[in-house]
C-alpha cells in the first residue's frame, strides 16, 4: 500500500549551475515524545536530522516536523564543524513550517538569504537541496513539477492545503530543505514523499510559506483558516433540481461550525471573491483548478471573503470572516498530555493523539459528539482512559474510553473545569456521568485519600499534569 511518510533523513547528483551552498543548512534536533495512552509515563527521547534554508532577516525556514517539540536544536553550515544552538521562534504545525532563530549572529557571516517565488507551473524544472543520511556536503536532485493540487499534509492529515508534487528524488534528511527554480529562488520546502514509488515527493509551496510569513509579522502565529463547517459537492441532477440550481455551480453546506454565524445548513455557496465555485468544489486559479478553500487559505485570520449564496432559493451576498476554529477533538503538537488520577481512574482531555493510540479516528466519534457540539461554554471533552490503577476504591469499574458529560450534575466545560470540580466539591459523593450512559459513583473523601496507596503501589510520581485556570 502506498503511504505518505515524513522525510527526516536525495539521491546525490551533480548540479552544473552555481548552487546556493551558503544558504542551506543542516539541523540536528533532540525531541521528546509523550505517550498519550499512558500520559503519566516519562517521554521517550529521539534524535532527528533535517535541513533548513536561510531567508531574509537572519531567519532559518524549515519544516515543523523537523523541530517540533525540540528540546535541543543545533544548526550547521556546509563544511563547517561548528554547530550553533537554535530555538523555535515561530511554528505552524497546520502547514508544516517553522522559523528558527540563532542567537549568535556570526552564524550568518558569508551566508546568502534566498528569495521566494510564487511564479511556478507544471513542468517547471526544480532542484531539491538538503543533507541526506547525515552527510556533511550539500546534495541535490533535479526534477520537474508534476502537479499543483490540494492534498493533506502527512504532518497534519486532518486538513488539506495547496501542495506541489515533484519528481526529484527526496529521502530522509531533506525535510525542511529548499526546492528552488533555475534562478535559485525558493518554490517550496520539502515535506513528504510517497513510499513504494519512484520519485514522487511533495513540497509546501511558496504561496503557503508567504501566508505564514505574513501571519507572524505581528509576532505571533494566528494560523490558517480552519472551520468545522462541512460542505458537499452537488453533482447529482436530482439534488440540483431540488435546490433550484440551473447550472453546474455551488457546494452544499451540510454542517455548520458554531463559530460560522454567517452560514446556515442547506446554504449553497456559488462563488467566493467573485470566483465561480463549480459543483465539485473547485475554482479557477493561477495554478489551475483547486479547492475553493484556496481563497480563504491565503488570507489572514480576521480577513473578509465575499461569498455569493443561494439560501431558500434566494441569492444573497455574505461577508465571511476568516477564522481559526479549534475542533473539540484536536491533535496536539509539542505538548505533554494533561491527565489526573482520581480514585485510580485516569482522565485526560480527549485528543486525536489518544484516539490514534487506540487505532481510532476523531471522525469515528463525531456522530456521538454531534449533539454535544462545541459552544462558548463547552470547548473540550474529557475521556476516561482505558487503563485503571486497580484499588478497592474503584472495584467493579471499567472504561471503554468513555467521554465525560457531567460531574455531580454540572456540565463539563473543559479538562481544567473537570479537575476543579473533583478538587473542590463539598459533596459526600462524586457522581461522574458519561455520554455513553455509563456512570461512576465514588465517596469523595475515600477517592481523594486513595492516591497515597495507589502512588506507592504503582510507582507514580504525581496524580496530575494540568494547566490551572480560574473559573
Residues tagged active-site: 65, 175
Cell of 338: 494533561
Q: How far is CA 440 from CA 47, 76, 235, 384, 398, in A?
A: 42, 55, 48, 11, 9
Nearest to 307 by CA among 274, 352, 341: 274
Is the sign of the CA dihedral 129, 133, 138, 142 positive or negative?
negative
Is the sign of the CA dihedral 382, 386, 391, 397 positive or negative?
positive
Q: What is d(CA 317, CA 115) in angstroms, rounded to the nearest whole number? A: 39
Q: Which residues contact 325 (CB under 8 A, 6 or more apart)?
A: 226, 227, 228, 257, 259, 260
For residues 445-462, b (16+ Cβ closer than 10 Å) or e, as one string? eebbebbeebeeeeeeee
The whole-angstrom distance between residue 219's C-alpha and the CA centroid of its chain comes to 20
Cell of 285: 486559479
Cell of 68: 517540533
For residues 146-177, b (16+ Cβ closer than 10 Å) or e, as one string? bebbbbebbbbebbebbbbbbbbbbbbbbbbb
Q: What is d(CA 201, CA 163) in angstroms, rounded to the nearest whole number? A: 10
Q: What is d(CA 179, CA 182) in angstroms, rounded to the nearest whole number? A: 10
Q: What is the largest CA-CA distance in the chain?
A: 79
Amino acid at each position: 500500500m502506498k503511504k505518505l511518510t515524513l522525510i527526516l533523513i536525495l539521491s546525490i547528483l551533480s548540479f552544473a549551475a552555481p548552487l546556493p551552498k551558503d544558504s542551506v543548512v543542516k539541523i540536528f534536533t533532540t525531541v521528546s515524545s509523550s505517550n498519550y495512552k499512558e500520559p503519566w509515563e516519562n517521554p521517550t527521547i529521539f534524535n532527528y536530522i533535517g535541513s533548513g534554508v536561510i531567508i531574509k532577516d537572519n531567519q532559518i525556514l524549515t519544516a515543523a516536523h523537523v523541530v517540533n517539540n525540540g528540546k535541543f536544536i543545533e544548526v550547521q553550515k556546509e563544511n563547517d564543524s561548528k554547530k550553533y544552538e537554535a530555538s523555535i521562534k515561530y511554528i505552524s504545525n497546520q502547514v508544516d513550517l517553522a522559523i528558527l532563530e540563532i542567537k549568535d549572529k556570526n552564524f550568518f557571516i558569508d551566508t546568502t538569504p534566498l528569495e521566494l517565488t510564487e511564479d511556478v507551473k507544471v513542468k517547471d524544472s526544480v532542484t531539491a537541496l538538503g543533507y541526506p543520511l547525515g552527510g556533511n556536503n550539500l546534495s541535490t536532485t533535479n526534477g520537474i513539477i508534476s502537479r499543483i493540487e490540494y492534498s493533506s499534509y502527512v504532518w497534519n492529515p486532518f486538513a488539506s492545503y495547496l501542495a506541489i508534487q515533484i519528481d526529484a528524488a527526496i529521502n530522509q534528511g531533506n525535510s525542511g530543505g529548499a526546492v528552488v527554480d533555475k534562478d535559485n529562488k525558493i518554490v517550496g520546502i520539502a515535506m513528504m514523499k510517497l513510499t513504494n514509488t519512484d520519485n514522487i515527493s511533495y513540497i509546501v509551496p511558496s504561496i503557503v510559506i508567504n501566508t505564514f510569513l505574513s501571519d507572524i509579522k505581528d509576532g505571533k502565529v494566528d494560523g490558517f483558516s480552519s472551520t468545522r463547517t462541512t460542505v458537499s459537492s452537488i453533482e447529482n441532477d436530482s439534488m440540483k433540481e431540488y435546490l433550484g440550481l440551473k447550472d453546474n455551480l455551488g457546494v452544499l453546506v451540510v454542517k455548520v461550525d458554531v463559530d460560522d454565524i454567517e452560514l446556515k445548513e442547506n446554504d449553497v455557496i456559488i462563488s467566493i471573491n467573485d470566483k465561480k465555485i463549480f459543483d465539485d468544489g473547485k475554482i479557477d486559479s493561477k495554478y489551475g483548478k483547486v479547492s475553493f478553500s484556496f481563497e480563504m487559505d491565503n488570507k489572514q485570520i480576521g480577513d473578509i471573503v465575499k461569498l455569493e449564496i443561494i439560501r431558500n432559493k434566494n441569492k444573497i451576498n455574505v461577508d465571511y470572516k476568516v477564522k481559526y476554529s479549534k475542533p473539540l477533538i484536536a491533535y496536539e503538537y509539542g505538548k505533554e498530555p494533561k491527565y489526573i488520577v482520581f480514585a485510580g481512574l485516569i482522565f485526560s482531555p480527549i485528543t486525536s493523539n489518544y484516539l490514534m493510540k487506540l487505532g481510532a479516528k476523531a471522525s469515528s466519534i463525531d456522530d456521538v459528539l454531534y449533539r454535544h457540539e462545541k459552544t462558548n461554554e463547552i470547548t473540550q471533552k474529557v475521556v476516561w482512559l482505558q487503563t485503571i490503577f486497580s484499588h478497592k476504591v474503584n472495584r467493579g469499574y471499567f472504561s471503554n474510553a468513555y467521554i465525560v458529560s457531567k460531574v455531580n450534575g454540572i456540565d463539563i466545560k473543559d479538562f481544567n473545569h473537570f479537575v476543579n470540580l473533583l478538587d473542590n466539591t463539598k459533596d459526600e459523593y462524586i457522581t461522574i456521568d458519561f455520554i455513553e450512559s455509563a456512570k461512576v459513583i465514588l465517596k469523595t473523601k475515600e477517592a481523594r485519600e486513595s492516591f497515597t496507596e495507589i502512588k506507592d503501589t504503582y510507582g507514580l510520581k504525581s496524580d496530575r499534569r494540568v494547566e490551572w485556570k480560574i473559573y
